[in-house]
Structure 1
């Protein structure tokens, strides 16, 4: 990752209070300055107090105006703003068959998993270009394969993969690296939701630890200057 003018790179992480996002924040905290983004102000502030050099950035990521106001307040829209990386970890699971899912549920899946990623990234591009920074999207195994009752989630992750691939080509000339990280099943709250929906028995030993995904994100962010780690797949053994 290219470094900003300070000695510690500045990284914005969405979905930072739970699961993979929290593991990424905890992993990066010792040697990065962090902006923790999301809508749960109490949880964000609590985590920011626990980590060194971390600040909360409170906004509903699906509300473009609210996100813009929060970025403005954080100084990320200023002409001299620099941001070393954004890690898009926020996401929502909308399970159900095509027969069951309503238009509103499809919209909810795409609003956070795709559109919010695009609009936040667009707002941050000047700061990312100034730092020759990195964009990381947390995708999924569902970004490659779709199964029964997972159409809305997989479709959003297929779309996120397309967004990430397009962004990588568009930003190459600006020196911004773009990476897509595809974890398999991870021991998180979302996994509990999915297993409950499937009617299965939860066994944490079958799944990745969030810290294993955080390690993959660190690899992407700390790749040497001439290297871009475009796609990473992390699977349970």
Structure 2
């Protein structure tokens, strides 16, 4: 009986030592997401970040509790690449968000020019108040050959440091894909295929969403995001 008790005690000790180790398990392998149309790939945030519909201005959106989110988006250039200014584009974007979403107490904490995947890039950290709550963001802009990209962490100010490390890992993994023959043609030159595949005689309206909405005839519509904030709407109909 004494030997049995000693044996059970040894098994108990072994379980104490082994179970925490096995329960922890192997770290999950990173998942990489590739966007062939927009020519980039990156490491997905951990599964603690759920994925939701990105909306009109982004390609990906990952969210956590307490109103924290990571957005990945892309835009075509509306100026010559040589004239494009990452810093000015970011400042215009902040001004647009300030007006649209009524941001207050906006303060740029820090910003700098860098490179990401050997391409020109720019980052900034911004604090502001939205709906009475203190928020903080870090945004990277990356200049690609056909698109520029916005990588954005936004969260309540008290959670910023907690989420920053994982966001920086995503940024570190961000890679641009080489241009392919299919992707070398600009969105503007692809419009005829999108709006007039049958090569009919058309008349075209170019303007904002409201301007294109005034036309009552059935029209095909196509939206091109512009740099900064918003986009141009193009509509076509037989005429």
Return the TM-score normalized by structure 2.
0.25
Larger strand proportion of the pair: 2
Larger helix proportion of the pair: 1
